[in-house]
């Protein structure tokens, strides 16, 4: 079916888009057509060209820096800036929101698009009009918040709605959302997807970029698959073409018969044990964040940790990693049965503990540094001679890790900020592979990572466990925990509420524990 069958020109058409960077062809003749009132998803592995294509469309890469043609509602457009793109009715909401926490909600809604009136011959922001108009916009996106509220007081999910209200204020006709649910909990994600369906009824076309294929298949009318900078195919939901298996085949060029690399291996003796671990908020004294948590991880085992947003999973992990979060109240950590006192992350690393943080850009990487230095950062003592890093040895180690982890980059001298999210995550993981840790704590290791890169990360983690390392895997994706782990602990409101072996666990049983309800049939393993 063509756009003509929908009563007019497409809302957007991009034809033969080609964009190159020095030594790299990022887009190679990409075609994209978005119909009016359509939710059109774009999927592809990290590095497939999704973000570059959207930067071309939104004017970040201006006309003249790429080849090809852009049409909006049948008319050719040549954008020199993001302002040009916005004037044409195109708005993009990036994964990192372009908002100012110190300003009010209303001020953020009209940021760069202020409502002004003349006073004393000057243009002055009209606060009354801004608040009244923003209240209408917030209602339209389903956000019941006082417009004068400082944005910093809102959750990530509610800030996302403010960003959408900001886009609507510019009379958007094509709304682009780049990984909009990556930092949202399940309820917030569902609300955002329902909002897209409402926009569809209102005549707004949406472009949804997401690695969460279950969400894509739920709401997208059509899906364009990119691979290696090319548009591979466009799948039509009305024709029954939209399935996760079909999308994956297009993305990676092959079928992934199994999402996870084989069954969990056999677990050995207990290597790490946590007892009665209790931590308060770092600023609000007496506010309990982790409350009497206890767990154990065995040699060669991948143990999972499930919990809803705010359950305390990350706080528990960070506090164990050399008390890098909160105020330690009480609790004990044991390695091979011997007490272990860790008051600083350096002591944790020396004790054989590695931590891959949830936010790789803020906490896991030195973005302006090279891939090489990021890969070797945790093991510089092994590369130093007389207190000076041996450059040749560092280069050799980095090249070996690059190959083992499958990091796609020009060379190890490339800045890590230039890599895709999946390759950045492989760099963080590769750094700890080099240290050969006894305990590897992974906090949301595949967030914002495509299915192909996920599988490679899973293989690396499983290989470390097979070599005898203990792994504690924290994830919001229950299928990931069930597919990768020998056992899964559940956490709710700072407490460990139970533990289920993989062969007895399912999503319903874990969700019961994650919400604090007692498990059917009495206490779960780990509570007895």
pLDDT of residue 523: 41
Reported as a pLDDT band with limits 50, 70 and 90, residue 117 is low
Distance CA 278, CA 327 (A): 9
CA distances from 263 to 142, 290, 436, 448, 498 (A): 43, 31, 22, 24, 22
| DSSP per-residue letters across 312-378 | SHHHHHHHHTTS-SSEEEEEEEEETTEEE---SHHHHHHTTEEEE-S-IIIII--TTSBHHHHHHGG
Half-sphere exposure of 194 (CA within 13 A, CB side): 9
| pTM of the entire predicted model | 0.66
Position 418 scores a pLDDT of 87
Place of tokens 């691979």: 227
pLDDT tens figures, 434-463 = 999 999 999 999 887 777 778 888 989 999
Interatomic CA distance for residues 83 and 364, integer angstroms: 33
Whether 24 shows a pLDDT value over 50: the answer reads yes
What is the average pLDDT value for the chain, to the nearest integer? Answer: 86
Helix or strand or coil: residue 382? Answer: helix
Segment 212-215 long-range contacts (CB within 8 Å, at least 24 positions apart): 212/181, 212/182, 213/43, 213/244, 213/247, 213/248, 213/451, 214/244, 215/181, 215/189
pLDDT tens-place string over residues 492-511: 989 999 999 988 888 888 98
Reported for 475-478, long-range contacts at CB under 8 A and 24+ positions apart, including other chains, are 475/304, 475/305, 475/306, 475/444, 475/445, 475/446, 476/185, 476/186, 476/309, 476/444, 476/447, 477/446, 478/306, 478/507, 478/510, 478/511
DSSP of 385-432: ETTEE-HHHHHHHHHHHHHHHT---S-TTSBGGGS-HHHHHHHHHHHH
More confident residue, 114 or 280: 280
Whole-number pLDDT of residue 241:
87
Strands 174-178 and 122-125: unpaired
How sure is the predictor about 133, in pLDDT bands with cuts at 50, 70 and 90? confident
Which residue ranges form the domains of the chain, and what is each CATH number?
Answer: 1-89+174-258 (3.40.50.300), 100-170 (no CATH), 270-352+438-445+470-528 (3.40.50.300)
SS (H, E, C) 440-483: EEEECCCCCCCHHHHHHHHHHHHHHHHCCCEEEEECCCHHHHHH
**Statement: residue 119 has pLDDT above 50:** yes
Q: pLDDT tens-digit profile of 322-342?
A: 999 999 999 999 999 999 999
Distance CA 41, CA 175 (A): 12
DSSP tag of 78: -
Higher per-residue pLDDT: 479 or 353: 353
The better pLDDT of the pair 521, 430 is held by: 430
Please answer whether residues 226 and 427 qualify as being in contact, where contact means their C-beta atoms are separated by less than 8 angstroms. no
Tell whether the model's pLDDT for residue 522 goes beyond 80.
Answer: no
Average pLDDT over residues 91-95: 82
Judged against a pLDDT cut of 80, whether residue 112 lies above it is answered with no
Strand, coil or helix: 130:
helix
Of the two residues 186 and 6, the one the predictor is more confident about is 186
Say what the pLDDT of residue 4 is. Answer: 42
For position 276, what pLDDT does the model report?
97
- In Å, how far from its chain's centre is CA 287? 28
pLDDT at residue 122 above 70?
Answer: no
Q: Is 105 helix (H, G, I), strand (E, B) or coil?
A: helix
């Amino acid at each position: 079916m063509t756009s003509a069958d929908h009563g007019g020109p497409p809302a957007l058409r991009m034809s033969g888009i080609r964009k190159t960077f020095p030594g790299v062809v990022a887009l190679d003749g990409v075609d994209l057509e978005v119909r009016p009132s359509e939710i059109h998803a774009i999927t592809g592995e990290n590095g497939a060209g999704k973000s570059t294509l959207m930067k071309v469309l939104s004017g970040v890469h201006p006309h003249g820096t790429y080849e090809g043609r852009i049409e909006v509602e049948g008319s050719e457009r040549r954008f020199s800036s993001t302002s040009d793109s916005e004037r044409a009715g195109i708005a993009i909401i990036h994964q990192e929101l372009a908002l100012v926490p110190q300003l009010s909600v209303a001020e953020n809604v009209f940021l760069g698009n202020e409502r002004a009136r003349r006073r004393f011959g000057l243009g002055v922001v009209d606060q009354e009009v801004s608040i009244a108009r923003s209240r209408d916009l917030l209602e339209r996106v389903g956000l019941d918040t006082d417009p004068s509220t400082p944005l910093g007081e809102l959750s990530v999910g509610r800030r996302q709605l403010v960003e959408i209200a900001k886009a609507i204020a510019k009379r958007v006709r094509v709304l682009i959302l780049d990984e909009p649910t990556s930092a949202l909990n399940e309820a917030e994600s569902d609300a955002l997807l329902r909002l897209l369906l409402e926009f569809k009824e209102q005549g707004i076309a949406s472009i949804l970029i997401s690695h969460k294929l279950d969400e894509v298949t739920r709401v997208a009318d059509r899906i364009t698959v990119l691979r290696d900078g090319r548009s591979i195919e466009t799948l039509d939901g009305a024709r029954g073409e939209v399935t996760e298996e079909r999308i994956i085949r297009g993305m990676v060029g092959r079928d992934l018969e199994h999402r996870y690399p084989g069954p969990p291996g056999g677990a050995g003796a207990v290597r790490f044990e946590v007892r009665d671990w209790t931590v308060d908020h770092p600023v609000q004294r007496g506010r309990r964040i982790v409350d009497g948590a206890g767990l154990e991880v065995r040699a060669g085992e991948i143990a999972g940790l499930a919990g809803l947003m705010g359950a305390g999973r990350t706080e528990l992990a960070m506090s164990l990693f050399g008390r890098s979060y909160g105020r330690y109240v009480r609790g004990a950590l044991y390695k091979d049965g011997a007490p272990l006192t860790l008051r600083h992350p350096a002591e944790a690393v020396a004790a054989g503990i590695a931590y891959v943080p949830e936010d790789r850009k803020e906490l896991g990487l030195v973005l302006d540094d090279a891939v090489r230095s990021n890969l070797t950062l945790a093991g510089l003592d092994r590369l130093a001679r007389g207190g000076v890093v041996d450059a040749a040895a560092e280069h050799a180690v980095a090249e070996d890790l690059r190959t083992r982890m499958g990091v796609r980059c020009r060379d190890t001298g490339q800045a890590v900020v230039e890599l895709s999210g999946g390759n950045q995550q492989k760099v963080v993981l590769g750094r700890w592979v080099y240290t050969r840790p006894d305990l590897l704590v992974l906090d949301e290791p595949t967030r914002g990572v495509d299915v192909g890169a996920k599988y490679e990360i899973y293989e690396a983690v499983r290989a470390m466990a097979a070599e005898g390392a203990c792994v504690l895997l924290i994830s919001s994706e229950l299928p990931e925990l069930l597919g990768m782990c020998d056992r899964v602990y559940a956490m709710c409101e700072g407490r460990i509420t139970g533990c289920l072996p993989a062969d007895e666990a399912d999503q319903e049983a874990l969700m019961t524990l994650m919400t604090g309800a007692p498990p059917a049939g009495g206490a779960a393993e780990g509570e007895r």
